[in-house]
Amino acid sequence: MSLQRIRALFKRAKVAPLARAEAQPAAAAACRRRPKRGAEDVILAFLAAKEKGPQQELCFLRAVRRVCHIREWERKTTLPFPKEEVAAKIRDIMLKSFMGLEPRFILSMEAVADLSKFHPPLEPNVQRSIVAWALGMVLGGPPIGSDPAGQALQQEGEEALRRLLRGLIREDPSSGHLFTLLDQLLYWHRVRWPAPRARACALITDLLAATKMPGWNITERDQYGHLVAKLSVSLADPEAEVREKAREVIGQLLRLQQKEQGRSKKTISWEEDPERPWMESYAHLIAAAEVFGGHLSERQRLSFQEAALEDALSLDGRWVREGGLLVLLSLLGQARALLEEEEIEDLRSNLSALLYNIWRGREVPPEIAALLPSSDE
Residue 255: enclosing H or E segment and its boundaries?
helix 240-261
> Who wins on pLDDT, 288 or 215?
288
User: What are the two backbone dihedrals, phi and then psi, of residue 256, each rounded to the nearest 5 degrees?
Assistant: -65, -45
What confidence score (pLDDT) does residue 368 get?
75
Q: Would the pLDDT of 311 be above 80? A: yes
DSSP string, 99-160: SS--HHHHHHHHHHHHHTTSSSPPPHHHHHHHHHHHHHHHHHSS--TT-HHHHHHHHHHHHH
Query: pLDDT tens digit string along 273-310?
Result: 888 888 899 999 999 999 998 888 999 999 999 999 99
Q: Does the structure show a pLDDT above 80 at 163?
A: yes
- Which pLDDT score is estimated for 362? 64
In this prediction, residue 28 carries a pLDDT of: 37
- Residue-wise pLDDT for 262-271, tens only, equals 666 677 888 8
Mean pLDDT of 109-133: 95
360 vs 93: which has the higher pLDDT: 93
pLDDT of 333 above 80: yes
- Span 2-58, pLDDT tens digits: 545 544 444 444 444 434 333 344 433 433 444 456 899 999 999 999 888 999 999
- Compute the residue count for the chain: 377
Is residue 151 a contact partner of residue 121, using CB atoms and an 8 Å limit? no
Read off the pTM: 0.82
| Whether residue 326 has pLDDT greater than 50 | yes
pLDDT tens by residue, 140-157? 876 666 678 888 888 999
Give the pLDDT score at 265.
65
Give the mean model confidence (pLDDT) for residues 99-104: 87
Torsion of CA 146, 150, 155, 156, to 10 degrees: 170
Q: Rounded mean pLDDT of the chain?
A: 84
**For position 99, what pLDDT does the model report?**
79
